[in-house]
A and B are shown apart, each in its own frame.
Chain A
Amino acid sequence: MNLSTHTLRRSLLRWEWLLVALMIVVTIVNARLSPFFLNRNNLLRTTSDFMEIGILMLPMVFIIVTGNIDLSIASILGLAASLMGWLFMSGTNIWLALVVALLVSALAGLLNGVLIARLKLPALVVTIGTLSLYRGLAYALLGDQAARGYPPSFTYLGQGTLGGTGIPVALVLFLVLALIFGLVLHKTTFGRYLYAIGNNEAASHYSGVPVERIKLILYVVSGVMAALAGFILAARFGSTRPDIGNGLELTVITVTVLGGVSIFGGKGTMVGAVLALILVGLLRFGMGLINLQGQIQNIVIGLLLILSILLPRLGARLSAGLTWQPATMRRLAAAASVAIVFGMFFFWSRGLILTP
């Protein structure tokens, strides 16, 4: 095989193209499901459902590229929105409240960073701990109350559109931020350091990459972005409950990994992550069109996540020539039997409930 066909093949087999292909499929299906889908205003309005996830995703891409993780983002989001709401309810000016909440979130991110980078504790464990801590603080602030009554100048952040164009403010904000994060990741020394850390942390440390400082910066940025997402979400709802954004971290990680960012670090592009965000957004919109419950939509997203991991491996195996070894057969047989046993029990038991 000569070099040019090889590179051509590699660029055609890029993960991003698969995401684009899937997006086209989903768009066609959605358009057939509803004549209202391909309406410009409808499409623009639905993007606002995903902008918080998108804003949380940007720093998550950075963190996962370094081979770390941040499970506490949704809790920082909750803390920021609750603190802002609490301050506002106790008479503080909304913009002052916003600034204070932003600073506190940066501190929350800094605590993550200090524990992970300075004390060398595993990121997974630290952020599981701070996940409870920050969400708990949000509950401590608001209790079972909801903060509401935000002024229109603030709710504009989540509900408003730019002039008369119908383009949501949050979408513009996300696109600008995505551009900045993408440029930092792919065009700066800082971005190259992130990949270096993800590929081999010890080697990068010995070759002079300030690993500790970079990790600190990443977690602080993650905290600040989480706060920003919290403000947009609170502005969109027009109120804050302490459980705001609960569980979003899993969606964010799903989108990031679906975008081709390797959980082992060192791989992935910002374009891929943004494409995955749009794909998940389109999918959810389509499933909403056929009235699927949110939890059942999650089955599809979960399957997509698993396929996104298994497909490249299967592709590599297929291109190397799939051989029907006994081990392969056994594996397939095991998978089939699991599916059959599970499926049988499922319908057997349900059928019994439905027909008394």
Chain B
Amino acid sequence: MIAKTEAYRPPQRAWMQAFVKYREVGIVLILLVLVALVSLRNPAFLSLSNFRDIVLNISILVIVALAQAMVIITRGIDLSVGSIIGLTAMMVSFTIAAFPGMPALLTIPLGMALGAALGSFNGLLIAGGGAPPIIATLGTLSIYRGLIFLYSGSKSTINAFEMPAGFRQLAKGAPLGVPNLILFALIVAVAAYYFLRYTRTGRDIYTVGSNPDAARFAGIPMQRIIFLVYVISGLLCGLAGVLWAARFESAQTNTALGFELQTVAASVVGGVSTLGGSGNVVGVILGAFLLGIISNALTLVQISPFWQLAAQGLLILLAVVADAAIVGRVQRITSRKTR
């Protein structure tokens, strides 16, 4: 009997349910519309080299947005990511400038360890001290940014000529045909996908965010999970800091200033709910893509650079509103039919 009613399900309901199940469908539609509109104005937008530019530009954003997404899934937020990136970029650059003979690859574990230490301070405050994430990371945002000034002293910039070529190749090089920067982002994305989907700890992150009480009763070590996401966030910011310094061939006191807002935007546009418990890697990557394509498109259709910030903000808002509208409408239709 049940099998028979299943068979009589109207065909359009299946794809509507796909909307509800895979929130990314909405974002893909927005992306497609945007791509179509921009390529009408400027066909160069669809070229392979332009696509490569876009991917290169969003690689670091993807890495940090994935970390931000994990934090947001636990109902937290990490506003200190920009400062951690800036501080690790500065420290790693000073170190490599002091030891030009050191293998460039070594800067990656160094940066990640440093970032993890900074992240674990956030984790201690939030998981151990019970501080609200937005306040704790707002505090460390100023503390870490201030440490950059304290650390760099009178020398506020490290330039390309002080960095060994090997270090700069870390982001620029492409020994496997694909630029290293993109490879790093891919590795992080695949690792995050596997971690969140197939490991016990990864699943626990969702449980902690979607229902903290249930998680506690189920014996999930809440504090340890929350501590962990801030350490992971710091770790990936450390990686991003190294790549940032290598890519822009410089580290300054204002490196990645305000970057936290972009990572939050990419996560949320990508369907990570700020109420916790939902979101996935594919969505976050699409969210980062949307931001990347928007800023690329604005350049290509020759909008004055002074308008870009405004247009970016407007499009973020539109994307969020459209996403909410699509999900809301489809949910209403499907729930009416099931009743």
Contacts and interface: CB of A to CB of B under 8 A. Distances in A.
Interface of A: 69, 115, 119-122, 124-126, 128-137, 139-140, 143-144, 242, 247, 250, 253-254, 257, 263-264, 293, 295-299, 301-303, 305-306, 309-310, 313, 331, 334-335, 338, 341-342, 345-346, 349-350, 352-353
Interface of B: 77, 91, 94-95, 97-98, 114, 117-118, 120-121, 124-125, 128-132, 134-136, 138-143, 145-151, 153, 155, 253, 258, 261, 264-265, 268, 274-275, 304, 306-314, 316-317, 320-321, 324
B321 A119 contact: yes
A154 to B, nearest CB: 25
A306 B307 contact: no
A5 to B, nearest CB: 28
22 contacts: A115-B317, A121-B320, A128-B264, A128-B316, A132-B261, A133-B309, A133-B314, A295-B145, A296-B149, A298-B143, A299-B150, A302-B139, A306-B125, A310-B129, A310-B131, A313-B129, A334-B124, A338-B120, A345-B91, A346-B151, A349-B94, A350-B94
Contact of A126 (B125, B141, B306, B317): B317
Contacts of A128: 261, 264-265, 268, 316
Contacts of A124: 77, 264, 274
A49 to B, nearest CB: 17
A302 B316 contact: no
A264 B131 CA distance: 11
Nearest to A120: B324
Contact of A139 (B77, B306, B324): B306
Given A132-B312, A133-B313, A310-B125, A293 B149 contact: yes
Nearest to A293: B149
Given A125-B264, A310-B131, A132 B140 contact: no
A119 B316 contact: no
- Which DSSP category, helix, strand, loop or mixed, fits chain A's interface? helix
Contacts of B265: 125, 128-129
Contacts of A132: 261, 309-310, 312-313, 316
Given A132-B316, A342-B117, A349-B98, A295 B124 contact: no
Given A133-B314, A298-B145, A298-B146, A350 B151 contact: yes
Main secondary structure of the interface of B (DSSP, over half): helix
Contacts of A352: 98
Contacts of A338: 117, 120-121, 124
A342 B124 contact: no
Given A119-B324, A263-B132, A299-B150, A253 B98 contact: no
B98 A257 contact: no
Contacts of A253: 138
Contacts of B275: 122
A195 to B, nearest CB: 18
Contact of B309 (A139, A297, A302): A139
Given A306-B139, A338-B117, A299 B314 contact: no
Nearest to B110: A345
A128 B134 CA distance: 14
Contacts of A349: 91, 94-95, 98, 151
Contact of A305 (B94, B139, B150): B139
